[in-house]
Structure 1
């Protein structure tokens, strides 16, 4: 059994569906099914139970998966250590980030990183911060950019930090612009949080950083806005704000992707989403990961 086949096994367990796993691995479903049967025959035990909804690891399968993940993790650690002996000429970073942050952070960071380290490839896993926490815990990733607060990791696990300012977005003709005011302490012109309660607001799901932040701010300030009928991802919320008379929260760093919208600070004070770079056990020993992480806080 080689390391590629270990990856097959772990992908099957993660996807819980042969068809999805085969698609992710860029191989035929029949070939993957044959691999499972062959491995189970070789081991003399059943690793997965087939159900109408997919596949579930058996007790034997769960035990074998622990060893498979550990072996693959040790292989990646050894591979990266050898690559770093060659002055970062070759190597791979398994990196996790949410779609929303990847859209506005990765293009510039990847361009600069690959210019300096062309032999280091970055394999990107795109999931929510909550999902990525488990990927880090399971050793499936070297590192990830996560939003706080964490659900399973601890803040002391954070290696590097950055903050993204949260702003209110609206169309140029939205009536809320008429009540913009200057903060007497900072002199910044923005929108009082209390005013948002009179307008339709597009929420993101609570397991996303902007969705969590919106609910916390409204709870803390006892604000009850008119909720848009459905929860949307931050990118789709931006699209709705473009076309309808609605408000949403967005990152200030995303303003270049929707320059036709108005990005306004929230008053009083300044409101940020705290982000942290977190390493897994294998990522923590990687010089390439440490260098890549610094690009997010420059």
Structure 2
């Protein structure tokens, strides 16, 4: 049985007349009679008795009518729910975000989104970029706000770049190599030749972190292959160790904003030919449906970056 057949039988039973049912359904009476005949032939038993009182349901007809009513009610409820979802009066949004981007984006954008769409359930997964890519591919999140390097390309994912953030090298204050720095009118930090640090002790982050992956690419392009003096998971701990003179490290310029002034370090821009940058981006799976709620939130993110307030 399909929805049209259910409606035909239910309408005939409600009106107790094929002619009145046909009028309500805006179809010709002979066409409705033929449709009913085919339905009865398909199930192998009459659904109606024709008598002086009109069309009366048989026992099988009563069961059919009850089932038809339940199914149509479920269908109507479903279409109403879909309407609510399409109108953003109801729904669910599940996305991933890196810890750094979440720290700055969520307090600004999430209240705006919830104010406009209070009945949308929001689920957020805070992970590093590598894990977020896996979750995009397996469909556990709608999209991710994360970081991407141009030489790290997951073919199954669509990346929409929002902002380009240069990587800098962090050194202890007044490092011996600081005498080689050059002023850079484009950035607030001076520029320095990364190859000067060939023999320095580098502090690295865990290999699963995107910062580490970009660091490895930059050093490889520069022809620098240091033995890590230390590998950590927390970039703030690493930065404080740089401040204390333990070594040097590479990190995105925007990360400097979150550091405490009591742990001072010097920062230097690296030559562009070292691919020393990454992109803040929206990552989606092009083979998966993107809900209207997801599209609206992504547009909020894009608007935030368009107004010159990058993270």
Normalising by the smaller structure, the TM-score range is 0.5 to 0.7
> Structure 1 residues 204, 288: CA separation in 2 closer, same or farther (over 3 Å shift)?
same
The aligned runs of 1:82-93 (5 Å cut-off) are 82-86=83-87, 88-93=88-93
1:24 corresponds in structure 2 to none
2-structure distance, mates of 1:247, 1:177: 12
8 Å contact 2:161–2:281 — kept in the other structure? Answer: yes
2:136 corresponds in structure 1 to 136
Aligned-pair CA distance for 1:252: 1.8
8 Å contact 1:80–1:286 — kept in the other structure? Answer: no
The aligned runs of 1:50-199 (5 Å cut-off) are 81-86=82-87, 88-148=88-148, 152-154=154-156, 157-159=158-160, 161-182=162-183, 189-199=190-200
8 Å contact 1:170–1:246 — kept in the other structure? Answer: yes
> Structure 1 residues 164, 130: CA separation in 2 closer, same or farther (over 3 Å shift)?
same
1:229 correspondence with 2:230 = yes
Higher mean displacement: 213-222 or 275-284: 275-284
Q: 2:270 aligns with which of 236, 259, 266?
A: 266
Aligned-pair CA distance for 1:95: 0.9
The aligned runs of 1:204-215 (5 Å cut-off) are 204-215=205-216
Aligned-pair CA distance for 1:116: 4.5
1:197-245 deviation digits (Å, cap 9, x = unpaired): 2322211233322111111111111123452232434343223224443
1:257 corresponds in structure 2 to 258
1:296 correspondence with 2:301 = yes
1:276 correspondence with 2:281 = yes
Higher mean displacement: 229-238 or 91-100: 229-238
2-structure distance, mates of 1:185, 1:239: 27
2:246 corresponds in structure 1 to 245
> Structure 1 residues 119, 191: CA separation in 2 closer, same or farther (over 3 Å shift)?
farther
8 Å contact 2:163–2:281 — kept in the other structure? Answer: yes
Aligned-pair CA distance for 1:287: 1.9
2-structure distance, mates of 1:116, 1:178: 54
CA-based RMSD of the aligned residues comes to 3.4
1-structure distance, mates of 2:145, 2:153: 14
1:58 corresponds in structure 2 to none
1:97-129 deviation digits (Å, cap 9, x = unpaired): 233433344333334444544443431112222
Task: Give the TM-score normalised by structure 1.
Answer: 0.60
8 Å contact 2:161–2:279 — kept in the other structure? Answer: no
> Structure 1 residues 82, 153: CA separation in 2 closer, same or farther (over 3 Å shift)?
farther
8 Å contact 2:236–2:259 — kept in the other structure? Answer: no
**Structure 2 unaligned blocks of 5 or more:** 1-78, 306-311
2-structure distance, mates of 1:141, 1:187: 37
Aligned-pair CA distance for 1:153: 4.2
8 Å contact 1:183–1:190 — kept in the other structure? Answer: yes
Task: Give the TM-score normalised by structure 2.
Answer: 0.58
State the aligned residue count.
219
Aligned-pair CA distance for 1:289: 1.0
8 Å contact 2:189–2:268 — kept in the other structure? Answer: no
